[in-house]
Structure 1
Amino acid sequence: MSASLSVRGLEASYGAFKVLHGLDFEIAEGSVTTLLGANGAGKTTTLRALCGMIRRSGTIEFDGRSIARMKTEDIVRLGIAHVPEGRGTFTSLTVEENLQLGAMTRRGGDNIAQDIDRIYSFFPRLKERAAQQAGTLSGGEQQMLAIGRALMLRPRLMLLDEPSFGLAPLIVRELFAILADIRANMGVSMLLVEQNATMALELADQAYLIETGSIALSGSAAEIRDNDSVRNSYLGY
Protein backbone atom coordinates (compact mmCIF):
# COMPACT_ATOMS: atom_id res chain seq x y z
CA MET A 1 0.00 0.00 0.00
CA SER A 2 1.38 3.39 -0.94
CA ALA A 3 1.41 6.46 1.28
CA SER A 4 1.53 10.22 1.05
CA LEU A 5 4.43 12.48 2.00
CA SER A 6 4.18 16.09 3.18
CA VAL A 7 7.27 18.28 3.57
CA ARG A 8 7.30 21.78 5.05
CA GLY A 9 10.26 24.07 5.61
CA LEU A 10 12.87 21.43 4.82
CA GLU A 11 16.41 22.65 5.38
CA ALA A 12 19.57 20.58 5.09
CA SER A 13 23.28 21.20 5.49
CA TYR A 14 26.65 19.61 4.91
CA GLY A 15 28.60 20.91 7.89
CA ALA A 16 28.25 24.68 7.91
CA PHE A 17 27.14 24.80 4.28
CA LYS A 18 23.37 25.02 3.93
CA VAL A 19 22.04 23.40 0.75
CA LEU A 20 18.25 23.40 1.17
CA HIS A 21 16.41 26.56 2.16
CA GLY A 22 12.91 25.72 3.34
CA LEU A 23 11.43 23.37 0.74
CA ASP A 24 7.67 22.75 0.73
CA PHE A 25 6.26 19.91 -1.35
CA GLU A 26 3.85 16.99 -1.26
CA ILE A 27 3.53 13.56 -2.82
CA ALA A 28 -0.01 12.25 -3.15
CA GLU A 29 -0.69 8.60 -2.40
CA GLY A 30 0.10 6.39 -5.38
CA SER A 31 1.47 9.27 -7.46
CA VAL A 32 4.81 10.06 -9.09
CA THR A 33 6.44 13.39 -8.29
CA THR A 34 9.63 14.59 -9.96
CA LEU A 35 12.25 17.05 -8.79
CA LEU A 36 13.93 18.91 -11.64
CA GLY A 37 16.88 21.26 -11.59
CA ALA A 38 20.47 21.79 -12.61
CA ASN A 39 23.38 19.90 -11.11
CA GLY A 40 24.02 21.20 -7.61
CA ALA A 41 20.50 22.57 -7.15
CA GLY A 42 19.83 20.31 -4.15
CA LYS A 43 17.85 17.43 -5.65
CA THR A 44 20.00 14.57 -4.33
CA THR A 45 20.35 16.38 -1.01
CA THR A 46 16.55 16.43 -0.75
CA LEU A 47 16.39 12.64 -1.02
CA ARG A 48 19.18 12.21 1.50
CA ALA A 49 17.45 14.58 3.90
CA LEU A 50 14.19 12.66 3.65
CA CYS A 51 16.06 9.45 4.52
CA GLY A 52 17.82 10.99 7.52
CA MET A 53 21.25 10.61 5.92
CA ILE A 54 22.27 14.22 6.56
CA ARG A 55 21.45 16.92 9.08
CA ARG A 56 18.06 18.42 8.36
CA SER A 57 15.23 20.37 9.95
CA GLY A 58 11.62 21.07 9.14
CA THR A 59 8.43 19.04 9.07
CA ILE A 60 8.39 15.68 7.26
CA GLU A 61 5.21 13.64 7.56
CA PHE A 62 4.82 10.22 6.00
CA ASP A 63 1.21 9.07 5.90
CA GLY A 64 0.46 11.54 8.70
CA ARG A 65 3.36 10.40 10.90
CA SER A 66 6.32 12.65 11.67
CA ILE A 67 9.62 11.15 10.54
CA ALA A 68 11.83 14.25 10.77
CA ARG A 69 13.67 12.95 13.85
CA MET A 70 13.79 9.29 12.87
CA LYS A 71 16.96 7.41 12.04
CA THR A 72 17.50 6.06 8.56
CA GLU A 73 16.86 2.43 9.53
CA ASP A 74 13.52 3.33 11.14
CA ILE A 75 12.48 5.30 8.05
CA VAL A 76 13.29 2.27 5.88
CA ARG A 77 11.17 0.03 8.11
CA LEU A 78 8.19 2.33 7.52
CA GLY A 79 8.44 1.47 3.83
CA ILE A 80 10.57 4.21 2.27
CA ALA A 81 13.09 2.76 -0.18
CA HIS A 82 15.99 4.84 -1.48
CA VAL A 83 17.63 3.95 -4.81
CA PRO A 84 20.74 6.17 -4.87
CA GLU A 85 22.60 7.44 -7.89
CA GLY A 86 25.34 4.99 -8.84
CA ARG A 87 23.13 1.95 -8.23
CA GLY A 88 25.06 0.51 -5.26
CA THR A 89 24.58 -3.20 -5.96
CA PHE A 90 26.67 -5.77 -4.11
CA THR A 91 28.96 -6.65 -6.98
CA SER A 92 30.35 -9.90 -5.57
CA LEU A 93 26.89 -11.35 -4.92
CA THR A 94 24.58 -12.85 -7.51
CA VAL A 95 21.48 -11.13 -8.81
CA GLU A 96 19.23 -13.31 -6.67
CA GLU A 97 21.36 -12.82 -3.55
CA ASN A 98 21.08 -9.06 -4.04
CA LEU A 99 17.29 -9.37 -4.22
CA GLN A 100 17.21 -11.51 -1.08
CA LEU A 101 19.20 -8.83 0.76
CA GLY A 102 16.52 -6.32 -0.19
CA ALA A 103 14.06 -8.14 2.05
CA MET A 104 16.30 -8.19 5.12
CA THR A 105 14.71 -5.17 6.79
CA ARG A 106 11.17 -6.44 6.29
CA ARG A 107 9.22 -7.62 9.26
CA GLY A 108 8.86 -11.34 8.77
CA GLY A 109 10.48 -13.37 6.03
CA ASP A 110 7.36 -14.69 4.36
CA ASN A 111 6.81 -14.84 0.60
CA ILE A 112 10.35 -13.78 -0.33
CA ALA A 113 10.48 -16.29 -3.20
CA GLN A 114 7.10 -15.06 -4.43
CA ASP A 115 8.29 -11.46 -4.33
CA ILE A 116 11.46 -12.35 -6.24
CA ASP A 117 9.30 -13.94 -8.92
CA ARG A 118 7.33 -10.71 -9.11
CA ILE A 119 10.54 -8.71 -9.55
CA TYR A 120 11.50 -11.08 -12.37
CA SER A 121 8.13 -10.42 -14.01
CA PHE A 122 9.03 -6.71 -14.16
CA PHE A 123 12.64 -7.40 -15.14
CA PRO A 124 12.84 -10.63 -17.18
CA ARG A 125 16.49 -9.88 -17.92
CA LEU A 126 17.30 -10.25 -14.24
CA LYS A 127 15.71 -13.69 -14.20
CA GLU A 128 17.99 -14.74 -17.05
CA ARG A 129 20.95 -13.60 -14.94
CA ALA A 130 19.75 -14.78 -11.53
CA ALA A 131 22.94 -16.75 -10.80
CA GLN A 132 25.29 -14.15 -12.34
CA GLN A 133 27.47 -11.87 -10.22
CA ALA A 134 26.00 -8.37 -10.09
CA GLY A 135 29.36 -6.82 -10.92
CA THR A 136 29.31 -8.43 -14.35
CA LEU A 137 25.96 -6.91 -15.35
CA SER A 138 25.63 -4.03 -17.79
CA GLY A 139 24.85 -0.57 -16.42
CA GLY A 140 21.18 -0.88 -17.35
CA GLU A 141 20.92 -4.30 -15.73
CA GLN A 142 22.55 -3.01 -12.55
CA GLN A 143 20.02 -0.17 -12.42
CA MET A 144 17.19 -2.69 -12.83
CA LEU A 145 18.69 -4.76 -10.02
CA ALA A 146 18.93 -1.72 -7.73
CA ILE A 147 15.25 -0.96 -8.31
CA GLY A 148 14.31 -4.61 -7.92
CA ARG A 149 16.19 -4.84 -4.64
CA ALA A 150 14.37 -1.74 -3.37
CA LEU A 151 11.04 -3.30 -4.34
CA MET A 152 11.87 -6.33 -2.19
CA LEU A 153 11.33 -4.05 0.79
CA ARG A 154 7.68 -3.87 -0.31
CA PRO A 155 7.99 -0.07 -0.21
CA ARG A 156 5.15 2.37 0.04
CA LEU A 157 7.35 5.17 -1.28
CA MET A 158 10.41 4.93 -3.55
CA LEU A 159 13.03 7.68 -3.75
CA LEU A 160 14.78 7.33 -7.12
CA ASP A 161 17.97 9.30 -7.71
CA GLU A 162 18.95 9.66 -11.39
CA PRO A 163 17.85 6.18 -12.56
CA SER A 164 18.82 7.02 -16.16
CA PHE A 165 22.37 8.12 -15.30
CA GLY A 166 24.91 6.71 -17.74
CA LEU A 167 22.41 4.62 -19.67
CA ALA A 168 21.79 4.49 -23.41
CA PRO A 169 18.56 6.20 -24.59
CA LEU A 170 16.91 2.89 -25.54
CA ILE A 171 17.59 1.43 -22.08
CA VAL A 172 16.31 4.62 -20.44
CA ARG A 173 13.00 4.35 -22.27
CA GLU A 174 12.71 0.67 -21.32
CA LEU A 175 13.47 1.48 -17.68
CA PHE A 176 10.88 4.25 -17.48
CA ALA A 177 8.27 1.97 -19.06
CA ILE A 178 8.99 -0.53 -16.28
CA LEU A 179 8.65 2.20 -13.63
CA ALA A 180 5.24 3.09 -15.08
CA ASP A 181 4.30 -0.60 -14.94
CA ILE A 182 5.42 -0.85 -11.30
CA ARG A 183 3.41 2.24 -10.41
CA ALA A 184 0.30 0.87 -12.18
CA ASN A 185 0.53 -2.63 -10.72
CA MET A 186 1.91 -2.00 -7.24
CA GLY A 187 0.59 1.50 -6.53
CA VAL A 188 3.93 2.59 -5.10
CA SER A 189 4.37 6.34 -4.62
CA MET A 190 7.57 7.68 -6.20
CA LEU A 191 9.78 10.72 -5.80
CA LEU A 192 11.99 10.92 -8.85
CA VAL A 193 15.16 12.97 -9.25
CA GLU A 194 16.11 12.92 -12.91
CA GLN A 195 18.24 14.94 -15.34
CA ASN A 196 16.23 13.60 -18.28
CA ALA A 197 13.41 16.06 -17.75
CA THR A 198 11.43 14.86 -20.77
CA MET A 199 11.19 11.29 -19.49
CA ALA A 200 10.58 12.43 -15.92
CA LEU A 201 7.66 14.64 -16.92
CA GLU A 202 6.14 11.87 -19.04
CA LEU A 203 6.04 9.59 -15.98
CA ALA A 204 5.19 12.13 -13.27
CA ASP A 205 1.90 13.59 -12.07
CA GLN A 206 3.47 16.53 -10.22
CA ALA A 207 6.75 18.39 -10.68
CA TYR A 208 8.90 20.80 -8.71
CA LEU A 209 11.79 22.83 -10.10
CA ILE A 210 14.60 23.43 -7.61
CA GLU A 211 17.10 26.25 -8.01
CA THR A 212 19.91 26.77 -5.48
CA GLY A 213 18.09 24.88 -2.75
CA SER A 214 14.67 26.51 -3.13
CA ILE A 215 11.49 25.67 -5.01
CA ALA A 216 11.36 27.97 -8.03
CA LEU A 217 8.34 26.48 -9.77
CA SER A 218 5.72 23.82 -9.09
CA GLY A 219 2.62 22.41 -10.73
CA SER A 220 1.29 19.42 -12.57
CA ALA A 221 3.75 17.67 -14.86
CA ALA A 222 1.78 18.96 -17.86
CA GLU A 223 1.95 22.56 -16.61
CA ILE A 224 5.67 22.36 -15.97
CA ARG A 225 6.26 20.73 -19.36
CA ASP A 226 4.42 23.59 -21.08
CA ASN A 227 6.27 26.32 -19.20
CA ASP A 228 8.47 28.32 -21.58
CA SER A 229 11.45 28.64 -19.25
CA VAL A 230 11.41 24.90 -18.48
CA ARG A 231 11.17 24.05 -22.16
CA ASN A 232 14.09 26.29 -23.00
CA SER A 233 16.33 25.28 -20.10
CA TYR A 234 15.54 21.59 -19.56
CA LEU A 235 13.61 20.19 -22.53
CA GLY A 236 15.64 21.69 -25.33
CA TYR A 237 12.86 23.19 -27.47
Structure 2
Amino acid sequence: MTNLLEAKGLHAAYGETRVLHGIDFAVRQGGVTALLGANGAGKTTTLRAICGLVRTQGELNLNGTSIGGLATEDIVRLGVAHVPDGRGTFMELTVEENMKLGAYTRPANQAHADFDHMFDYFPRLKERFKQQAGTLSGGEQQMLAIVRALLLRPRLLLLDEPSFGLAPLIVQEIFRILRRIRDDAGVGILLVEQNAALALEFAEDAYLLETGRIVMSGPAADISKDEGVRRSYLGY
Protein backbone atom coordinates (compact mmCIF):
# COMPACT_ATOMS: atom_id res chain seq x y z
CA MET A 1 0.00 0.00 0.00
CA THR A 2 1.45 3.37 -1.03
CA ASN A 3 1.82 6.29 1.33
CA LEU A 4 -0.72 9.09 1.08
CA LEU A 5 1.08 11.42 3.50
CA GLU A 6 4.77 11.47 4.32
CA ALA A 7 6.55 13.68 6.83
CA LYS A 8 10.34 13.78 7.01
CA GLY A 9 12.31 15.81 9.52
CA LEU A 10 9.19 17.77 10.49
CA HIS A 11 9.76 20.58 12.98
CA ALA A 12 7.01 22.83 14.35
CA ALA A 13 7.04 25.81 16.66
CA TYR A 14 4.83 28.43 18.24
CA GLY A 15 6.94 31.55 18.10
CA GLU A 16 10.24 30.67 19.76
CA THR A 17 8.83 27.58 21.43
CA ARG A 18 9.74 24.43 19.48
CA VAL A 19 7.29 21.56 19.85
CA LEU A 20 8.23 19.02 17.16
CA HIS A 21 11.88 18.10 16.70
CA GLY A 22 12.36 16.51 13.29
CA ILE A 23 9.80 13.71 13.28
CA ASP A 24 9.21 11.20 10.46
CA PHE A 25 5.87 9.45 9.92
CA ALA A 26 3.49 8.32 7.18
CA VAL A 27 -0.18 7.58 6.56
CA ARG A 28 -0.94 4.90 4.00
CA GLN A 29 -3.53 5.31 1.26
CA GLY A 30 -6.80 4.10 2.73
CA GLY A 31 -5.10 3.17 6.01
CA VAL A 32 -5.38 4.31 9.60
CA THR A 33 -2.37 5.59 11.51
CA ALA A 34 -2.57 6.29 15.24
CA LEU A 35 -0.44 8.94 16.91
CA LEU A 36 -0.07 8.21 20.63
CA GLY A 37 1.50 10.12 23.47
CA ALA A 38 0.91 11.87 26.75
CA ASN A 39 -0.61 15.34 27.02
CA GLY A 40 1.87 17.89 25.74
CA ALA A 41 3.79 15.40 23.60
CA GLY A 42 2.98 17.30 20.39
CA LYS A 43 0.13 15.25 18.92
CA THR A 44 -2.25 18.13 18.26
CA THR A 45 0.63 20.25 16.99
CA THR A 46 1.40 17.51 14.45
CA LEU A 47 -2.12 17.75 13.04
CA ARG A 48 -1.94 21.54 13.03
CA ALA A 49 1.41 21.36 11.22
CA ILE A 50 -0.12 19.24 8.45
CA CYS A 51 -2.87 21.85 8.06
CA GLY A 52 -0.45 24.77 7.91
CA LEU A 53 -1.65 26.24 11.19
CA VAL A 54 1.80 26.46 12.82
CA ARG A 55 5.25 27.40 11.60
CA THR A 56 7.06 24.33 10.24
CA GLN A 57 10.32 23.14 8.74
CA GLY A 58 11.00 19.85 6.98
CA GLU A 59 9.12 17.88 4.35
CA LEU A 60 5.38 17.28 4.15
CA ASN A 61 4.15 15.51 1.04
CA LEU A 62 0.59 14.56 0.10
CA ASN A 63 0.50 12.05 -2.75
CA GLY A 64 3.96 13.22 -3.73
CA THR A 65 3.01 16.92 -3.71
CA SER A 66 4.74 19.17 -1.19
CA ILE A 67 2.27 20.89 1.12
CA GLY A 68 4.82 22.38 3.50
CA GLY A 69 4.44 26.15 3.59
CA LEU A 70 1.10 26.20 1.77
CA ALA A 71 -1.81 28.24 3.12
CA THR A 72 -4.38 26.24 5.07
CA GLU A 73 -7.12 26.81 2.49
CA ASP A 74 -4.87 25.43 -0.26
CA ILE A 75 -4.10 22.33 1.82
CA VAL A 76 -7.84 21.81 2.31
CA ARG A 77 -8.42 22.06 -1.43
CA LEU A 78 -5.79 19.35 -1.98
CA GLY A 79 -7.89 16.96 0.11
CA VAL A 80 -6.99 17.34 3.80
CA ALA A 81 -9.84 17.63 6.31
CA HIS A 82 -9.34 18.27 10.01
CA VAL A 83 -11.70 17.44 12.89
CA PRO A 84 -10.09 19.42 15.72
CA ASP A 85 -10.02 18.74 19.43
CA GLY A 86 -13.20 20.30 20.80
CA ARG A 87 -14.99 19.58 17.48
CA GLY A 88 -15.03 23.14 16.14
CA THR A 89 -18.80 23.10 15.66
CA PHE A 90 -20.48 26.45 14.96
CA MET A 91 -22.91 26.35 17.87
CA GLU A 92 -25.15 29.23 16.75
CA LEU A 93 -25.76 27.66 13.34
CA THR A 94 -28.06 24.78 12.49
CA VAL A 95 -26.92 21.31 11.50
CA GLU A 96 -27.79 22.18 7.90
CA GLU A 97 -25.72 25.38 7.99
CA ASN A 98 -22.73 23.58 9.51
CA MET A 99 -22.90 20.97 6.77
CA LYS A 100 -23.07 23.64 4.06
CA LEU A 101 -19.97 25.27 5.51
CA GLY A 102 -18.17 21.93 5.36
CA ALA A 103 -18.84 21.73 1.64
CA TYR A 104 -17.93 25.32 0.81
CA THR A 105 -15.13 24.33 -1.60
CA ARG A 106 -17.51 22.31 -3.80
CA PRO A 107 -20.41 23.18 -6.14
CA ALA A 108 -23.70 23.31 -4.24
CA ASN A 109 -25.41 20.59 -6.30
CA GLN A 110 -22.57 18.13 -5.61
CA ALA A 111 -22.55 18.91 -1.89
CA HIS A 112 -26.29 18.42 -1.45
CA ALA A 113 -26.09 15.10 -3.25
CA ASP A 114 -23.71 13.95 -0.49
CA PHE A 115 -26.02 14.93 2.35
CA ASP A 116 -28.14 11.79 2.04
CA HIS A 117 -24.97 9.70 1.98
CA MET A 118 -23.86 11.31 5.24
CA PHE A 119 -27.29 10.67 6.77
CA ASP A 120 -26.83 7.00 5.97
CA TYR A 121 -23.81 7.04 8.28
CA PHE A 122 -25.32 9.39 10.87
CA PRO A 123 -29.14 9.18 10.74
CA ARG A 124 -29.48 11.24 13.94
CA LEU A 125 -28.28 14.30 12.06
CA LYS A 126 -31.10 13.95 9.53
CA GLU A 127 -33.57 14.08 12.42
CA ARG A 128 -31.88 17.24 13.69
CA PHE A 129 -31.18 18.88 10.32
CA LYS A 130 -32.88 22.18 11.21
CA GLN A 131 -31.80 22.11 14.85
CA GLN A 132 -29.24 24.54 16.28
CA ALA A 133 -25.91 22.75 16.72
CA GLY A 134 -25.45 24.09 20.24
CA THR A 135 -28.49 22.11 21.39
CA LEU A 136 -27.07 18.76 20.21
CA SER A 137 -25.56 16.24 22.59
CA GLY A 138 -21.78 15.89 22.71
CA GLY A 139 -21.89 12.74 20.61
CA GLU A 140 -24.11 14.39 18.01
CA GLN A 141 -21.77 17.38 17.84
CA GLN A 142 -18.85 15.02 17.21
CA MET A 143 -20.84 13.30 14.47
CA LEU A 144 -21.55 16.69 12.90
CA ALA A 145 -17.87 17.64 13.04
CA ILE A 146 -16.94 14.41 11.22
CA VAL A 147 -19.66 14.94 8.61
CA ARG A 148 -18.55 18.51 8.02
CA ALA A 149 -15.03 17.25 7.32
CA LEU A 150 -16.21 14.40 5.07
CA LEU A 151 -18.26 16.78 2.93
CA LEU A 152 -14.95 18.08 1.62
CA ARG A 153 -14.46 14.61 0.09
CA PRO A 154 -10.98 14.43 1.62
CA ARG A 155 -8.20 12.04 0.77
CA LEU A 156 -6.78 12.49 4.29
CA LEU A 157 -8.89 12.86 7.44
CA LEU A 158 -7.22 14.18 10.61
CA LEU A 159 -9.05 13.26 13.82
CA ASP A 160 -8.07 14.88 17.12
CA GLU A 161 -9.45 13.08 20.21
CA PRO A 162 -12.82 12.03 18.70
CA SER A 163 -13.75 10.08 21.85
CA PHE A 164 -13.05 12.90 24.32
CA GLY A 165 -15.87 13.50 26.81
CA LEU A 166 -18.22 10.97 25.24
CA ALA A 167 -19.99 8.01 26.81
CA PRO A 168 -18.49 4.60 25.93
CA LEU A 169 -21.51 3.50 23.89
CA ILE A 170 -21.35 6.67 21.79
CA VAL A 171 -17.62 6.18 21.27
CA GLN A 172 -18.25 2.63 20.06
CA GLU A 173 -20.89 3.89 17.64
CA ILE A 174 -18.64 6.63 16.24
CA PHE A 175 -15.71 4.28 15.68
CA ARG A 176 -17.97 1.69 14.08
CA ILE A 177 -19.06 4.36 11.61
CA LEU A 178 -15.47 5.51 11.06
CA ARG A 179 -14.58 1.94 10.04
CA ARG A 180 -17.39 2.02 7.48
CA ILE A 181 -16.17 5.37 6.15
CA ARG A 182 -12.62 4.09 5.85
CA ASP A 183 -13.77 0.98 3.98
CA ASP A 184 -16.30 2.76 1.74
CA ALA A 185 -14.36 5.90 0.81
CA GLY A 186 -10.78 4.64 1.03
CA VAL A 187 -9.82 7.78 2.93
CA GLY A 188 -6.56 7.78 4.88
CA ILE A 189 -6.94 8.61 8.56
CA LEU A 190 -4.43 10.06 11.01
CA LEU A 191 -5.88 9.58 14.49
CA VAL A 192 -4.82 11.34 17.67
CA GLU A 193 -6.55 9.57 20.54
CA GLN A 194 -5.90 9.54 24.28
CA ASN A 195 -7.63 6.16 24.54
CA ALA A 196 -4.62 4.18 23.35
CA ALA A 197 -6.35 0.80 23.43
CA LEU A 198 -9.12 2.11 21.18
CA ALA A 199 -6.64 3.75 18.80
CA LEU A 200 -4.43 0.67 18.49
CA GLU A 201 -7.43 -1.55 17.84
CA PHE A 202 -8.64 0.79 15.07
CA ALA A 203 -5.29 1.52 13.37
CA GLU A 204 -2.92 -0.54 11.25
CA ASP A 205 0.14 1.60 12.03
CA ALA A 206 1.11 3.60 15.09
CA TYR A 207 3.68 6.10 16.30
CA LEU A 208 4.50 6.99 19.89
CA LEU A 209 5.40 10.64 20.43
CA GLU A 210 7.25 11.91 23.50
CA THR A 211 8.20 15.57 23.96
CA GLY A 212 8.08 16.19 20.24
CA ARG A 213 10.06 13.15 19.12
CA ILE A 214 8.98 9.78 17.73
CA VAL A 215 10.26 7.11 20.14
CA MET A 216 8.48 4.07 18.70
CA SER A 217 6.74 3.14 15.47
CA GLY A 218 5.44 0.07 13.71
CA PRO A 219 2.31 -2.04 13.20
CA ALA A 220 -0.33 -1.14 15.76
CA ALA A 221 -0.74 -4.77 16.77
CA ASP A 222 2.96 -5.01 17.64
CA ILE A 223 3.03 -1.75 19.58
CA SER A 224 0.01 -2.85 21.62
CA LYS A 225 2.08 -5.83 22.83
CA ASP A 226 5.05 -3.73 23.94
CA GLU A 227 5.46 -3.93 27.72
CA GLY A 228 6.26 -0.25 28.14
CA VAL A 229 3.25 0.81 26.08
CA ARG A 230 1.01 -1.58 28.00
CA ARG A 231 2.11 -0.18 31.36
CA SER A 232 2.08 3.50 30.39
CA TYR A 233 -0.87 3.73 28.02
CA LEU A 234 -3.00 0.59 28.21
CA GLY A 235 -3.13 0.14 31.97
CA TYR A 236 -2.14 -3.53 32.26
Tell me if TM exceeds 0.5. Answer: yes
Deviations, residues 26-72 of structure 1 (Å, cap 9, x unaligned) = 11100000100000000000000111101010000000000102110
Question: Structure 1: which 5+ runs fail to align?
Answer: none
Once residues 143 and 198 of structure 2 are traced to their aligned partners in structure 1, the CA distance between those partners, rounded to angstroms, is 17
Name the residue aligned to 2:92.
92
Task: Give the conservation status (yes or no) of the 8 Å contact 2:3–2:26.
Answer: no
Name the residue aligned to 2:43.
43
Once residues 173 and 229 of structure 1 are traced to their aligned partners in structure 2, the CA distance between those partners, rounded to angstroms, is 26
Cα shift at 1:3: 7.0
Name the residue aligned to 2:182.
183
Name the residue aligned to 2:34.
34
Whichever residue aligns with residue 193 of structure 1, its letter is V
Q: Does 1:161 align with 2:160?
A: yes
Q: Secondary structure at the match of 1:4?
A: strand
After superposition, residues 131-170 of structure 1 pair within 5 angstroms as 131-170=130-169
Name the residue aligned to 1:74.
74
Deviations, residues 169-204 of structure 1 (Å, cap 9, x unaligned) = 111111111111110111110000000111111110
Once residues 190 and 171 of structure 1 are traced to their aligned partners in structure 2, the CA distance between those partners, rounded to angstroms, is 20
Q: Secondary structure at the match of 2:39?
A: coil
Once residues 25 and 132 of structure 2 are traced to their aligned partners in structure 1, the CA distance between those partners, rounded to angstroms, is 39
Question: Structure 2: which 5+ runs fail to align?
Answer: none
TM-score (norm 2): 0.97
Q: Secondary structure at the match of 1:111?
A: helix
Q: Secondary structure at the match of 2:41?
A: coil
After superposition, residues 186-225 of structure 1 pair within 5 angstroms as 186-225=185-224
Whichever residue aligns with residue 204 of structure 2, its letter is D
Cα shift at 1:12: 0.5
* Larger deviation, residues 53-62 vs 111-120: 111-120
Task: Give the conservation status (yes or no) of the 8 Å contact 1:105–1:153.
Answer: yes
Whichever residue aligns with residue 112 of structure 1, its letter is A
* Larger deviation, residues 163-172 vs 34-43: 163-172
Task: Give the conservation status (yes or no) of the 8 Å contact 1:7–1:23.
Answer: yes
Q: Secondary structure at the match of 1:110?
A: helix
Once residues 64 and 15 of structure 1 are traced to their aligned partners in structure 2, the CA distance between those partners, rounded to angstroms, is 29
Task: Give the conservation status (yes or no) of the 8 Å contact 1:83–1:146.
Answer: yes
Name the residue aligned to 2:15.
15
TM-score (norm 1): 0.97
Name the residue aligned to 2:228.
229
Cα shift at 1:111: 2.1
> What is the aligned length?
235
Deviations, residues 208-231 of structure 1 (Å, cap 9, x unaligned) = 000000001000010111111111
Q: 1:26 to 1:3 in 2, by over 3 A?
A: closer
Cα shift at 1:93: 1.3
Once residues 154 and 74 of structure 2 are traced to their aligned partners in structure 1, the CA distance between those partners, rounded to angstroms, is 13
Name the residue aligned to 1:6.
6
Cα shift at 1:109: 3.1
Once residues 222 and 151 of structure 1 are traced to their aligned partners in structure 2, the CA distance between those partners, rounded to angstroms, is 27
Name the residue aligned to 2:83.
83
Task: Give the conservation status (yes or no) of the 8 Å contact 1:3–1:189.
Answer: no
Q: Secondary structure at the match of 1:181?
A: helix
